[in-house]
A and B are shown apart, each in its own frame.
Chain A
Amino acid sequence: MEETETGESIRRLDYEAKITGRAQYLADMKVPGMCHGKILRSPHPHARIRSLDTSKALSIRGVLAVLTRDDIVKDQGIDPYYGPVFKDQTIVAVEKVRHVGDPVAAVAALEPEAAEEALSRIEIDYEEMPAVLDVSEAMAKGAPLLHESVRMPPHGFADLAELKPVEGTNICTHFKLVKGDVEKGFAESDYIFEDTFTLPTTQHCSLEPHGCIASVERDGRIVVWSTTQNPFVVRTQLANIFKVSVSKVRIVVPYLGGGYGGKVYPKLEPLTVALARKARRPVRIVLSREEVFYTITKHAAVIRMKTGVKKDGTLVARQCEVLLDTGAYAEIGPRVAKKSGYTAAGPYKIPNVKIDSMSIYTNRPPAGAFRGFGVSQSAWAHESQMDVIAAALNMDPLEIRLKNGYEEGSEFVTGETLSSLGLKSCVEKVAAAIGWKEKRAAQPNGPVRRGKGIACMIKATITPSISCAVVKLNEDASATIYTGTVEMGQGSDTVLAQIVAREMGISAENIQVLGVDTDVAPYDLTTSSSRSTFHMGKAVQLAAQDLLNQLKQIVVQDYGVPPDQVKFSNGRVQFLETVLDYQEILFKRFGMQGGTLVGQGQVKTKVTHERGVKTTSSFWFLGAGAAEVEVDCETGKLRLVKYVTAVDVGKAINPLGCRQQLEGAAITGMGQALFEEIVFDNGQIVNPNFVDYVLPSLGDMPPSIEPILVEVPHLEGPFGAKGIGETALIPVAPAIANAIFDAVGVRIRDLPIKAEKIFLALEEAKKKL
């Protein structure tokens, strides 16, 4: 077991259950009286529903209920419209369908087969409408509109309050950010570079598909078991839809088989609850793999970058236009576009910046959160262009980054001051590990060329936000942690236990982390945005400190000791000549073996105003990646030789857990860089399965992926820790593209980087010779 100053790679708390097959995931659960639900989905990208006939479906044996628009529109107890940012989604389609796969009806039946059979008997008369199938069609003059008007939620997210759909267009939101004067900056520049970069729609592909079990009790209470990353947001949304107070909605979350952003915000829950309500018994729906592809995706993007530089490589002005395909519903797209926009100019000190970042409605499945949250899109553009610039100026890509990169105290695009910034250290460490200095080493003979590339990033976390925690000290001096943080593989249960263990001086083995249940756990905004270690970690730390204070009070009262004489160390309390453990103190207080102390902690990050400037993020993600590749000039075939990722983790609470997150994110980044792509044909997904949508496997891995933990502590994080879940993914694609350029001199601007793209680019380059 390896130790760093504060960190220790203890065995994860969730391992024993997972390694023996006993860990429960949603699809493993059954509740008494449960029946099975299936969803009928639209075959058209855009169509009006003229009529629906469910009579034949209802006559199938074992069918308990069929849910259509009639049930949700006519029912006074239901508001059919919902959505985390705008209420533009309905439980099932009401007037029209807006993408292939849009839910139109649902069936509950005793057996899944009966439900399936019933789906095929529902008759729907569609009137097809012209569709907009990508961002440029959606932006064209006179384009058909997806939403004629959009309803606003009663209490929207504080950070998105200023964003509204642009009326009469398919622009869902338009985020603007300006610093200085780009036109003046371009005029002062020696060179101007203009490039366009694109990324396709992709999918999270958590091995566990989305699932939900819903039950509506006789008194109207709604109980939901769901594969969700943010149960409290889902609770609020369900309370609004079904017009009850949040206390009447209970969300329970088992272990998740991966999330990666694909399981935030309501997905299946509204429909499953509506179906359970109608069927009058609990309903379980587990999506097929194909349905997952139609449920949520990662935003495709078109990004235009215009950058002005001085001869010496100083960045003077940068203008970024980020167009994100948000699909048929806003979902959390507006925030993705905002986050993408904030850092679209990259982690660089640039005096003049103009950013326009838009989420745009199209007739495709909704796009939402994906590990990296819009920043893996914008970083593909800014990091690729940095190397375009470096090459034109004959500068070293490492040097141009170090020259312009943010450092402690730099001013961000918004005007706020940046702090706790391990950016340059990450860049330098990946460069050293990949052997940057030796990069001009002799090429192997033959058609295969080697090259190295580097890329870096900055990203904000969701701010403002709230995390509350309760820690219970039991009579045997063990502790129980109650939080809303979802263990989805990232290791949060273990990290939270380690923080409490360290704070209280007890062993993590004596700490239990309860699964998420909104009836029991205090509020937490979300398990996403790499925020849990920083926010919930701090909340449990405060809760543990609260417990220590209570113990101190007890000692003062029960043993008559002055407060300043009471000291804690290693799970014991010392005063005068006495050393007691927690158990003895509790025993004395309660007079018997029994009793509980409850500590609580709250973290509420704010948007503070510094010189009239709002802070964007309670802390920043910084990281860098470096790739070494081999490219076969005759075929375009690419081989990853080595990949290095460095992330500023603040302080590693569990170093092995940190490395797992870095490597895992980097591997997903490799898939996104090299082959992942959803292919559409008239709004239909051509490859909604794991044969045609290729995921990275062991066969695709480079011989070595090296994670490097950089520790620049953050004052407000628990023991200095920051969040890290997304960081390592973001530099991967541009680092690889930059390495390809280094190897063979061709610039790939459109992901994924398939061999044929490299081959065609090489052919193109040969023609120009």
Chain B
Amino acid sequence: MKKQIHVRVNGLETELQVEPRMTLLEVVREQLGLTGAKLGCDIQVCGACTLLLNGKPVSACSVLAVDADGGDVLTIEGLAGQGSLHPLQEAFMEFGALQCGYCTSGFILTAKAMLEENPRPGEAEIRSYLAGNFCRCGCYQEIVQAIKRVAGR
């Protein structure tokens, strides 16, 4: 039995028909074609699927789409403004905070949420806030540097 849900995705009001068992990640990727969030572990540990739901980072692999009904979803595709990238995106490129890029949307969205909670995090805070996101390519130092740069502004 499909259920109708209403979500705001990257600022756009969106009506969707979803199966109750479908995850937010499946709906965003398969139905909306927003594939920037990735499936890495499927059990809420790697952070590759991170989206912001009402401003808070969630593992979209483990959130049911029906539970996001009425919510506000931000994906990596919605982060850049018209013609300009978000400062985190700029900083990630400048510092080389990605290699394969599979973890990148998750890191950037998590970092965005952190900076909203705490605009001036210290290095230790950055390290602990992002300890739940994996980067197998091992860009951790560059990720920390990039976020520090944005936090310092």
A contact residues vs B (CB 8 Å cutoff): 9, 11-12, 14-25, 27-28, 204-209, 255-258, 260, 288-289, 488-491, 656-657, 659-660, 663-668, 689-691, 695-699, 701, 705
Q: How far is the CA of A656 from the CA of B93 in the complex (A)?
A: 11
A130 to B8, CA, bound (A): 57
Given known pairs A19-B89, A19-B98, the reply for A260 and B136 (CB within 8 Å) is yes
- Known A20-B89, A27-B38, A663-B141; judge A206-B102 contact (CB<8 A): yes
Q: With A and B bound together, what is the CA distance between A489 and B137 in angstroms?
A: 8
Please state if B93 and A258 are interface contacts (CB–CB under 8 Å). Answer: no
**Is there contact, CB below 8 Å, between A699 and B127?**
yes
How near does chain A come to B119, taking the closest CB pair, in angstroms? 20
Give the residues in chain B near A666, CB-CB below 8 Å: 138
Tell me, yes or no, whether B96 is within 8 Å of chain A by CB.
Answer: yes
Q: From the candidates B37, B80, B85, B104, name the one contacting A18 in the complex (CB within 8 A).
A: B104
Most chain-A CB neighbours within 10 Å: which of B77, B93, B101, B135? B101
Is A689 in contact with B96, judged by CB distance below 8 angstroms?
Answer: no
- Is A20 a contact partner of B80 (Cβ separation < 8 A)? yes
| In contact, A660 and B142 (Cβ under 8 angstroms) | yes
Would you give 12 A-B contacts (Cβ < 8 Å), ordered by A?
A: A12-B96, A19-B85, A19-B98, A27-B39, A208-B102, A255-B100, A256-B100, A489-B99, A489-B101, A656-B96, A659-B96, A666-B138
The answer to whether the Cβ of B53 comes within 8 Å of any Cβ in the partner chain is no
Cβ distance A664 to chain B, nearest Cβ, rounded Å = 3
Q: Are A689 and B43 in contact (CB under 8 A)?
A: yes
CB distance from B42 to the nearest CB of A (A): 6
Main SS class of interface, A: loop
Partner of B104, one of A19, A488, A659, A665: A19
Q: Chain B contacts of A691 at CB under 8 A?
A: 43, 45
**A659 proximity list for chain B (CB < 8 A):** 96
A-B contact number at CB 8 A: 156
Complex contacts, A208 vs chain B, CB 8 Å: 38, 40, 100, 102
Q: Does B133 contact A (CB under 8 A)?
A: yes
B134-A660 in contact (CB<8A): no
Contact A22 B101 (CB under 8 A): no
Q: How far is the CA of A668 from the CA of B136 in the complex (A)?
A: 7
CB of A689 to closest CB in B, whole Å: 6
Q: Is B113 an interface residue (CB 8 A)?
A: no
Q: Which of A15, A25, A667, A689 contacts B102 (CB 8 A)?
A: A25
**B46 engages A207 (CB within 8 Å):** yes
- Assess the B138–A668 pair: CB atoms within 8 A: yes
Give the interface size class of chain B.
35 or more
A207 and B127 contact, Cβ closer than 8 Å, known pairs A19-B92, A21-B36, A22-B36: no
Q: Which residue of B lies closest to A704 (CB)?
A: B141
Which residue of A16, A489, A665, A690 is within 8 Å of B100 (Cβ)?
A489
What separation, in Å, do the CA atoms of A491 and B96 have in the docked complex? 10
What chain B residues lie within 8 Å of A289 (beta carbons)? 40-43
Partner of A664, one of B29, B34, B79, B99: B99
As a 0/1 sequence over residues 36 to 73 of chain B, the CB contacts with chain A under 8 angstroms (1 = contact) are 11111111011010000000000000000000000000
The 3 closest A-B pairs by CB, nearest first: A21-B36, A489-B100, A18-B101
- Residues from chain B with a CB closer than 8 A to the CB of A705 are 141
Cβ–Cβ contact A690 & B46, under 8 A: yes
CB-CB under 8 A from A488, the residues of chain B are 100
Q: Which residue of B lies closest to A728 (CB)?
A: B138
Q: Are A697 and B138 in contact (CB under 8 A)?
A: no
Bound CA span A469–B85, Å: 34
Contact between B99 and A660, CB atoms less than 8 A apart? yes
Which of B's residues lie within 8 Å of A, judged by CB? 29, 34-43, 45-46, 48, 75-77, 79-80, 85, 89, 92-94, 96, 98-105, 108, 127-128, 130-144
Question: How far is B97's CA from A12's CA once the two chains are assembled, in angstroms?
Answer: 11
Contacts of A15 in B (CB 8 A): 92-93, 98
Measured in the bound complex, the distance between the Cα atoms of B98 and A660 in whole Å is 9
Docked complex Cα distance between A690 and B49 (Å): 14
Min CB distance B57 to A, Å, is 15
Q: Which residues in A have their C-beta under 8 angstroms from that of B133? A: 697-698
- Are B134 and A697 in contact, CB atoms less than 8 angstroms apart? yes
- Contact in complex: A657, B41 (CB < 8 Å): no
Distance between A370 CB and nearest chain B CB, rounded to angstroms? 12
A25 to B100, CA, bound (A): 10
* Contact indicator A207/B77 (Cβ below 8 Å): no
Contact indicator B77/A257 (Cβ below 8 Å): no
Bound form: Cα–Cα A657–B100 in Å: 12
B96 and A660 form a contact (CB under 8 A) = yes
| Given A207-B40, A258-B100, A491-B99, A21:B34 Cβ within 8 A | yes
**B80–A697 CB distance below 8 A:** no
- By CB atoms of chain A within 10 A, which of B35, B36, B100 has the most? B100
Q: Which among A9, A12, A18 has the highest number of chain B CB atoms within 10 Å?
A: A18
Using A207-B103, A701-B141 as known contacts, say yes or no to A258 and B96 having CB atoms under 8 A apart: no
A311 to chain B: closest CB distance in Å?
A: 42
Specify the chain A residue showing the minimal Cβ separation from B126: A698
**In the bound complex, how far is the Cα of B64 from the Cα of A685, in angstroms?**
29
Closest Cβ of chain A to B124, distance in Å, is: 10
CB distance from A16 to the nearest CB of B (A): 8
Q: Which residues of B contact A25 (CB under 8 A)?
A: 35, 38, 102
Complex CA gap A19/B98 in Å reads 9
CA–CA, A695 and B39, complex, Å? 16
In the complex, chain A residues whose CB is within 8 Å of the CB of B99? 258, 489-491, 660, 664
Find out whether the CB atom of A695 lies under 8 angstroms from the CB atom of B127.
no
A689 x B100 contact (CB < 8 A): no
How far does the Cβ of A249 sit from chain B's closest Cβ, in whole Å? 26
Cα–Cα distance between A25 and B40 once the two chains are bound (Å): 12
Interface centre among B35, B75, B108, by most chain A C-beta atoms within 10 angstroms, is B35
List residues of chain B with CB within 8 A of the CB of A24: 35
CB distance from B9 to the nearest CB of A (A): 13
Q: B38 touching A699 by the CB < 8 A rule?
A: no
Cα A657 to Cα B93 with chains together (Å): 12
Please give me the residue from chain A that is nearest to B39 by CB atom.
A27
A69 to B144, CA, bound (A): 51
Least distance between B69 CB and chain A CB atoms (Å): 22
Chain A residues with CB under 8 A of B40: 207-209, 289, 690
User: Which among B38, B43, B45, B137 has the highest number of chain A CB atoms within 10 Å?
Assistant: B137
Within the complex, the shortest CB–CB distance from B134 to chain A, in Å, comes to: 5
